[in-house]
Amino acid sequence: MTDSPLYRNPAAPVDQRVDDLLGRMSLEEKVGQMLQLDGRKDPQAGLRERHPGSFLHVLGDDAVALQNAAMKTRLGIPLLFGIDAIHGHSFWAGATMFPTQLGLACAWNADLAHRVGRITAMEMSHTGVHWTFAPVLCLARDLRWGRIDETFGEDPLLIGDLASAMIDGLQGDDLGDRYSVLACAKHFAAYSETHGGRDATEADLSRRKLRSTFLPAFRRATGAATYMIGYQAIDGVPCTASRWLLTEVLREEWGFEGFTVTDWNNVGALVTHQHVAADIAAAAAMAVRAGCDMIMNTPAFYEGALEAVHRGDLDEALVDQAVRRILRMKFIMGLFEDPRLPDPARRPELIATDEHKAVNLQAARESIVLLRNSGLLPLATETLKKVAVIGPNADDTVAQLGDWSLGTGQAGQGAHPRQSITTVLDGLRGRLEGTAEVVYARGCNVVDDDTGGIDEAVRTATGADVAIVVVGDQKPFIGEARSTATLELQGAQQALLEAVHATGTPMVVVLLASKPLAVEWIDGHAAAVLVAFNPGMAGGQAVAEILCGDVNPSGKLPISFARHVGQQPVYYNQLPGQHGTKYADLTQEPLYRFGKGLSYTTFAYGNLRLARKTIAPGEPVAFTFDVANTGGRDGVEIVQVYLRDRITSVTWPLKTLKAHRRVAVKAGRTETVSFTLDHDALALVDADGRWVVEPGEFELLVGASSADEDLLVAAFEVTA
């Protein structure tokens, strides 16, 4: 009887198993392990010819066939299957589709983000997939960028809170658990610092700005099994080729122990787009030397890396180092013993269960933000006779689910089952059945200027008690390489709004969009405004419940709304020092500020008390304040804590978010809220790139949004 090799022994230590297997591999097999191929392009041939370690875009029966073939190869190394499960198991028909990250961020609820991650992992676990390319930790900056919807907004602290919670949910307590998947912190780093909002353009950033603004959230994500490397260059060096970023910072400074993966064809782009490598061999050597471990969809990397090793441009020891990281993760997951093949029999127990749907509905409810209300909302449902539902996004399932979903064309064909999605029209019809007549007119399109449907919309609105108009954007203006030059409503939507408003019927506008749009006209003419972003499968029910007062809105903006595209940037935490406070022709004040969100009740803040007004080095900052519900309904208030360092050795934002919490307050009651900020929360990045706490005067700001008028202020001093 032949002894089984050490790497086949599940009782052996992981590192010993890795070393044993690595010692048995040829150079070709090792380079292949570093390759991830697109599973939609003859994957069996790819497996035979290039020995890849991973495929993406492979699900179900296709995963079974490929995995079985991989297990029959010389060494039987299992494949890792990855997919973009960004806000749910996006490309599995009928899986639970949650609000997009931007929508989920409106809840300011890390526990909810954790549950979304856990459910996503469970639903992925029996479809053959081991790895999701999520969450996105990019910082929203220029609102023209097409991928704003994938972010958690504009603040590093909030992004870090939600992303780290989602990572924990996706990965669970043990990566060896069949119901856990590998998370991927992306896009590392500063991918969202674009020129003109255009996707993947070079980020002209100093290392100090990287450390102060773009890296903090990523540093909190080092528990993720993988990091995805951004497309773009920073200060002339593509992230794919940046040893400083991928090795010195990520591994040596932060202690990251997982593996990195490039974004789609990053290594090929070093030759074809960024022109920093003469050929694919040079590009492969450049990427591996920098710290790239797995190469996504650059098939020629296989030949290029082999050539680079043979001609002496790439040390095989660096290949071994990358492969060791990948194999280590496969052993930790237990894939050699259980490659986690799809299990169709268990899918009904794990996909779109009642429990998952309930969490999804909660997420949709908490993700909706009430931005304006003249008093029309909540609707007086007992007196309604006719409700007009109008607009191109009122009954559009793909627009409601948003990007990275079946129907968007990114991966897989088809769509999610229609019965699994409740649109705004569906939600209002269901809620008002037997109470009021609900009439519908699409009115116009988003992608063209055809006004032919506006007359029907006017007839529909005329005589109704209220018109619910649902506008926003759609797939042609969302996603990779789909940045927009404007933030205005596309197509004939503005004409539709003006025509409905002219009927005299009270108008409520629901913004169902991938990002903040320039909607100052709406703010000035609508009786009420809700933003739902892309609220997922249960979004229409949640919108209807809020409109009708069944649910008291609690969401707050994780991102600011500009009044005009030329007014950017409008994110709240800007640096001081400009001449003047406004444009010659327009204010610099955003239309809706970061942290804004209304309720059907009212809250009052008071009695801000610091435990100490003098803080010694290393001491925390402890404080309390009161939140009173001064209205007639129970509600949830998202309290926000900001910090201002009065005098700094380098320029620093005048206001930075340091803490937040959801606080439930019953009508007529007052809750006392306590926080303690670690001393490190007072730090800034100095001119040498170091995080330091400088002695001097600080201000603590507590309240309902980032607006100065919404904040209580208490001063304290940090001693030398």
Q: Residue 558: what residue type?
A: P
At 240 the three-state DSSP class reads helix
Residue 3 banded pLDDT, cuts 50, 70, 90: confident
d(CA 460, CA 668): 41
The CA distance from 546 to 541, in Å, is 9
Tokens encoding 630: 């001064």
Residues 13-22: contacts with CB under 8 Å, at least 24 apart: 14/328, 14/331, 14/332, 15/328, 17/331, 18/324, 18/327, 18/328, 18/331, 19/324, 21/75, 21/77, 21/327, 22/320, 22/323, 22/324, 22/327
> What are the DSSP calls for 66-134, one per residue?
HHHHHHTSSS-PPPEEEE--SSBSTTSTT--BPPPHHHHHTT--HHHHHHHHHHHHHHHTTTT--EE--
Could you report the per-residue pLDDT of 87-113, keeping only the tens digit for each? 999 999 999 999 999 999 999 999 999
Burial of 293 (0-12, 13-18, 19+ CB in 10 A): buried
Query: Tens digits of per-residue pLDDT, 194-205?
Result: 989 999 999 999
What is the structure's pLDDT at 1?
37
CA distance 186 to 82: 14
Q: Is 380 found in the same domain as 526?
A: yes
| Whether residue 335 is found in the same domain as residue 446 | no
- The Cα 36–Cα 22 span in angstroms is 18
Q: Are residues 461 and 320 in the same domain?
A: no
- The answer to whether 475 and 449 are in contact (CB under 8 A) is no
Could you please report the per-residue DSSP string of 638-687?
EEEEEEEESS-SS---S-EEEEEEEEEE-TT-EEEEEEEE-GGGG-EE-T
- Both tokens of residue 148? 């704003």
Look at residues 187, 184, 61 and name the one whose alpha carbon lies nearest to residue 121: 184
- What does the alpha-carbon distance between residue 216 and residue 121 come to, in Å, rounded to a whole number? 25
CB 687 within 8 A of CB 208: yes
Rounded CA gap, 202 and 209, in Å?
15
- How does pLDDT run across 245-283, given as a tens digit for each residue? 999 999 999 999 999 999 999 999 999 999 999 999 999
- Rounded to an integer, what is the distance from CA 450 to the centroid of its chain? 33
> Residue 579: is its pLDDT beyond 70?
yes
Q: 717 pLDDT band (50/70/90 cuts)?
A: very high
Closest CA to 700 of 631, 630, 615: 615
Is 576 a domain residue? no
End residue of a domain, out of 567, 592, 612: 567
Residue 203 and residue 329 share a domain: yes
Residue 425 in tokens: 């029209």
Please report whether residue 316 resides in a domain.
Answer: yes
Report, as an integer, the average pLDDT of 434-442. Answer: 97
CATH of the domain at 704: 2.60.40.10
Please, which residues bridge with residue 262 across strands?
Answer: 229
- Straight-line distance from the first to the last Cα atom of the chain, in angstroms, rounded to the nearest whole number: 73
b/e string for 704-717 if b means 16 or more Cβ within 10 A?
A: bbbbeebbeebebe
Give the residue from 378, 389, 454 showing the smallest Cα distance to 425.
389
Residue 705 to residues 556, 572, 583, 630, 708: CA-CA distances in angstroms?
8, 10, 24, 17, 8
**For the chain, what is the mean pLDDT?**
97
Tell me whether residue 263 is one of the annotated catalytic residues.
Answer: yes
CA–CA distances in Å: residue 227 to residues 240, 251, 378? 12, 11, 44
We report the CATH number of the domain holding residue 473 as 3.40.50.1700
Residue 410 has what pLDDT?
A: 83
The reply to whether 651 and 690 lie within a common domain is yes
pLDDT tens profile 145-204: 999 999 999 999 999 999 999 999 999 999 999 999 999 999 999 999 998 999 999 999
CA-to-CA distance for 266 and 228, rounded, in angstroms? 11
Q: Residue 7 domain-assigned?
A: no
- Does position 2 have pLDDT exceeding 60, yes or no? no
Other Cβ atoms closer than 10 A to 617 = 10
Q: Is residue 26 part of a domain?
A: no
Q: How far apart are CA 225 and CA 294, in angstroms?
A: 13
The one-letter code for the residue type at 471 is V
Task: Quick: pLDDT tens for 625-678.
Answer: 999 999 999 999 999 999 999 999 999 999 999 999 999 999 999 999 999 999
pLDDT digits (tens, 9 = 90+) for 26-39: 999 999 999 999 99
Cα separation of 445 and 670, whole Å? 47
pLDDT digit string, tens, across residues 51-90: 999 999 999 999 999 999 999 999 999 999 999 999 999 9
| Domain co-membership, 384 together with 438 | yes
HSE value, Cβ hemisphere, 13 Å, CA-based, for 622: 5
Provide the phi-psi class of 60: left if phi over 0, else alpha when psi is between -120 and 50, else beta: left
What's the CA gap between 167 and 169, in Å, rounded? Answer: 5
Q: Can you tell me the mean pLDDT for 379-395?
A: 98
- Which amino acid is residue 433, in one-letter code? E
Domain count, the chain: 3
Secondary structure of residue 603 in the 3-state scheme: strand
Asked if residue 595 is part of any domain, the answer here is: no
Which three-class secondary structure state does DSSP give residue 235? coil
Final residue before a domain boundary, out of 312, 345, 378? 345
Percent of the residues in the chain that have a pLDDT greater than 70, as a whole number: 100
Alpha-carbon gap, residue 424 to 391, rounded angstroms: 10
Same domain, 341 and 364: no
Q: Let me know: does 203 contact 188? Beta carbons within 8 Å.
A: no
DSSP string, 311-378: TTSS-HHHHHHHHHHHHHHHHHTTTTT------GGGHHHHSS-HHHHHHHHHHHHHH-EEEEESS-PS
pLDDT of residue 199: 93
DSSP tag of 223: T
Q: Quick check: helix, strand or coil at residue 607?
A: strand
Q: Which of 443, 460, 461 is nearest to 452 (CA)?
A: 443
Task: Check whether residue 136 and residue 178 sit in a common domain.
Answer: yes
Taking the CA atoms of residue 644, residue 649, residue 650 and residue 654 in that order, the dihedral angle to the nearest 10 degrees is 10
Of 325, 345, 365, the domain-final residue = 345
192 assigned to some structural domain: yes
pTM: 0.97
Choose, from 84, 263, 426, 645, the residue flagged as catalytic. Answer: 263
Same domain flag for 378 and 512: yes
Q: Are residues 183 and 56 in the same domain?
A: yes
Cis check for the bond before 356: say yes or no (omega within 30 of 0): no
- In whole angstroms, what is the distance from residue 270 CA to residue 258 CA? 24
| pLDDT at residue 413 in the model | 77
| Burial (CB count within 10 angstroms: exposed 0-12, middle 13-18, buried 19+), residue 647 | exposed
Q: For strand 386-390 and strand 437-441, is the pairing parallel, antiparallel, or unpaired? A: parallel
Can you tell me the distance from the alpha carbon of 149 to that of 368, in angstroms, rounded to the nearest whole number? Answer: 14
Same domain (yes/no): 520, 645: no
Does one domain contain both 489 and 629?
no
Phi-psi region of 390 (alpha: psi -120 to 50; beta: other; left: phi over 0): beta
Residue pair 323/28 in contact (Cβ under 8 Å)? The answer is no
Residue 14: inside a domain: no
Residue 582 domain-assigned? no
- The closest of 547, 716, 571, 554 to 646, measured between CA atoms, is 716
Percent of the chain with pLDDT over 90: 98
Task: State which residues form the domain around 84.
Answer: 34-345
